[in-house]
Amino acid sequence: MARITAADTPWALHAEAVGAAARTDIGTGLTPREAAARLEADGPNSLTHAAPVPAWRRFVSQFADPLVYLLLAAIGISLVAWWAEGREGVPYDVLVIAVVVIANAVLGFAQEGRSARAVESLSAMAAPSALVRRAGEPTRVAAADVVVGDVLLLAEGDAVAADARLADGAVWAAEAALTGESAPAAKSPAAVKEDATVGDRTSMVHAGTAVTRGAATAVVTATGMDTETGRIAALLASTEVEPTPLQREIARLGRTLGVVVVIIAVVVMGTVFATRDVSTLPEVVAVLLLGVALAVAAVPEGLPAIMSVVLALGVQRMARRHAIVKDLASVETLGSASVICSDKTGTLTQNRMSVRRVLTAGGTVDTGRDARARIGDGEAPLDHDAAVALAYGSLASDAVARRGGGDSIATHSTAANDVASHDVASHDVAFEGDPTETALLEAEYALEARHARHGLDRIGSVPFSAERRRMSVVAAHPDGGTLVAVKGAPDAVLPRCTHALLGGEETVLDEATRTRLEEGIAALAGEGMRTLAVAYRRDPDAAPDRAATEALEHDLVLAGVAGIVDPPRTEARDAVAAAQGAGIRVAMITGDHPGTAVAIAAELGIVPDAEAPVLAGAVLARLSDQELREAVRTVSVFARVAPEDKLRIVDALQSHGEVVAMTGDGVNDAPALRSADIGVAMGRGGTEVAREAAAMILTDDDFATIVTAVREGRGILDNIQRFLRYLLASNLGEVLAVFLGVVAAGVFGFVAADGSLVAPLLATQILWINLLTDLGPALAVSAERYADDLMARRPRPLVSPLVDRAMWGTIAWTGAWMAAATLLAYDAFAPGGLIEGDADVTTARTAAFTVLVLAHLTNAFSARSDAASMVHRLWTNPWLWGAVALSVALQIAVVHVPALNDAFSTAPLTLAQWGACALLALVVPIAIEARKAVLRLRSRRGATVRAGAEARGAALG
């Protein structure tokens, strides 16, 4: 079977040699039988996708979490203890933990499924069919049925179905998705060097690109995974997916809690065995139950579920803001991003061409950042010469303008000047055609230059070709005779000019003026602009029906040279500034020209000016990994890079501890999207490969949406820290209460009336506390309104723990006071305690139980901030007030409903006892507020000392 590989360098071979290697006759193509045989042997022309993960496996994966492992272990131990003790009824502790674990899994499974369906709705814009020559006849086949050796018949607007070598004709292909180049690339049958890069293989067209102009036949050299797109897809498949910072942090927290659980359980059970004679099975079971209670107290059962809820809510908010997150944990990662590596074309720019400057014999006219944005602004700053250049350049093109309803405007006739002004002002005009030609037409409309060709009706043309590099038209002039308009590459037009338009007058083009124009053209090219020269010749005596031929392209008058760029998105500059204000560095990584890249980067504020350093792909390839790691510290613009270069850049940044977000829309972005901490793909203009590689997809293709996502990520991180502060402090209070109570009872020999070991709280009560306070209030705490200074903070360092030393200090302080209040309540209500009456152990345990619940609920208000008072923004979160009120009501039910008394071993409390419990619980928020006040005082003093030192330093300086 015929096969051609990249090693055969088909771009460097003659077309006939490629046809011979593919065993096909370019004139007739393959026969249907031969095509079918090759399709059977080589497989369909499509990319290999990873097999979809079955729903059951995605559901099971929700349990792959260290905290869930701890909860499952607690379920197992509880079941063993319940069975060994021979208890009857419902094992409430097991039931409660199981409900929490399953609810967490269902929630995560549902949200990830919703995101997956949203991604599927953004189906790839792949070539659905292709026109090929088979048995000498044009035949349209499914793109998947194209095989090596097929002869593609390419025309304007066609999507290229496979990599192919041009045999004849000429086309221009939009390859931005593959190479990063904004302008369409000219393609011709002429062979190129063997070592030519993808962007320089002008004899090849590639799968996934599109023909913008021209017609050609081409021999297919590669299909499916053998294409350039397939090569990048294979590279993507070999790129490992790193866990997000949040996943690493939660895993670390789960491991820490697991170690703590084991240590506490061993210490407590060891204390009991050392201080008491445990010899019977019931006594052994009681000790095991005590260990289970401590394990349950140490593990925040609600943490996995609340984490999923918080992330899911964030994902839904982001979806409303045009960002689809495929993986929940990726939301927080974007909030921690310290570097955003962005592709240029289509991400920071609009992926279309626009006239930026017009060079004339009299000087350079700046048309503004984006001509299209100026349509209908009522300003016409162009002088006569620049207006003529744009008007005649538009005349010498095939671009057309259409009204919003789809009606074509007679762009190349007198009627082109009769477009209603409100059509233009309301942007009710669409421009269609080659991007370079539509740029001229847009500028003509935007800058009101159409008057310069009033009355000119096009009657013939000489088309653009790769060899001629120019296009000419002949138009009937309203004053009689004809006008020849020529548009093309400056070096193909300027030599044919003998005069230049200067101040509306045709003057001789002397050497000084020619030199000045050539220097101006070089300057435009140096800024990364594509240049098009426009010239004309008026022949008043010519017949109005004269034929258009190359013979007319002489003694031309140069009207001007248009400098064309891919303009930045209007919102991108503000988005870049917002990111930098949030301490995030923005780097541009593109396959485009270095001059273009640094000019756009300077305009967007990524670099201070166009003189900033640029690292080109050819230089980057020669750098060692260590040299590249040093280079990325100072360079923010990378141009002419290959997919492998993008991977190296991302890896080099990550080696400095940076959290890297990579944005892009092209096939060439996919490996770096996968390797980055979080990949962000464009959903509207992006490729399928890029969307599959990314963790987040922007449905509006707007770089500014990333800033919104960063704020959302930081807000989610803030709320995660809030509920962690709340949950861990509350659970520490439970652990210390049980631990200290049991150890004290074991050491001092405190026993209940039946001789059993005294514990201030039972396992079912601890589970109730966790269910009651760890879910509703914790979820409400996580719904706190985002802080106003989110985007004024520096990014959280990757090595910075989610629960840092300061937070651990708050957690320890709060947990200690909770345990103290709980044990004081138990001691006060116990027989012989401070409160007189017929209280027994059950009543004392109920009082301790109630005090701990109330202390948990007051901590929900305090945990919203590590330093601000709990009364700050006290009424801004109605969900928290509702959750606290519901929890209090449920606690009252547990204390006073007989059925719940039996289930949770509680006893009713009198009104006076409730009052005493409330007073004891208030000890906790008072202690927390006192600590916060001290911290705020220290912070103010520190700020005063620093300000004084800075003032003294300034005075000495």
Catalytic residues: 343
- CA-nearest of 578, 566, 568, 604 to 704 is 578
> Which tokens sit at 700?
């509006």
The DSSP-derived string for 461-478 is EE---TTT-EEEEEEE-T
All residues at 6 or more sequence positions from 470 whose CB lies less than 8 Å from its CB, including other chains: 464, 486, 487, 488, 489, 492, 493, 553
Strands (E), 295-396: 323-325, 339-342, 354-360, 363-366
In angstroms, rounded to a whole number, what is the distance separating the alpha carbons of residues 398 and 396? 7
Length of the chain in residues, anyone? Answer: 957
Burial group, residue 805, by CB count within 10 angstroms (0-12, 13-18, 19+): exposed
- CA-nearest of 430, 476, 426, 427 to 455 is 476
Bin 433: left if φ > 0, else alpha if -120 < ψ < 50, else beta: left
All residues at 6 or more sequence positions from 112 whose CB lies less than 8 Å from its CB, including other chains: 58, 326, 327, 328
In angstroms, rounded to a whole number, what is the distance separating the alpha carbons of residues 694 and 904? 49
The neighbour count for residue 602, using CB atoms within 10 Å, is 17
- Determine phi and psi for 717, rounding to 5 degrees: -60, -45
Bin 630: left if φ > 0, else alpha if -120 < ψ < 50, else beta: alpha
- CA-nearest of 502, 507, 470 to 486 is 470
CA distances in angstroms from 114 to 156, 405, 687, listed in the order given: 38, 36, 21
Q: Whose structure tokens read 């040279």?
A: 561
All residues at 6 or more sequence positions from 478 whose CB lies less than 8 Å from its CB, including other chains: 414, 454, 455, 456
- Determine phi and psi for 17, rounding to 5 degrees: -65, -35
SS3 percent helix, strand, coil of the chain, rounded to 5, is 50, 15, 30
In angstroms, rounded to a whole number, what is the distance separating the alpha carbons of residues 265 and 263? 6
Instruction: Return the SS3 of 164.
Output: strand
Residue type, 147: V
DSSP state of 203: T
First-to-last alpha carbon distance for the chain, in angstroms, is 80
The neighbour count for residue 743, using CB atoms within 10 Å, is 15
Positive/negative CA dihedral, 279, 282, 288, 294 = negative
The neighbour count for residue 413, using CB atoms within 10 Å, is 18
In angstroms, rounded to a whole number, what is the distance separating the alpha carbons of residues 557 and 539? 12
All residues at 6 or more sequence positions from 750 whose CB lies less than 8 Å from its CB, including other chains: 744, 758
In angstroms, rounded to a whole number, what is the distance separating the alpha carbons of residues 542 and 673? 60
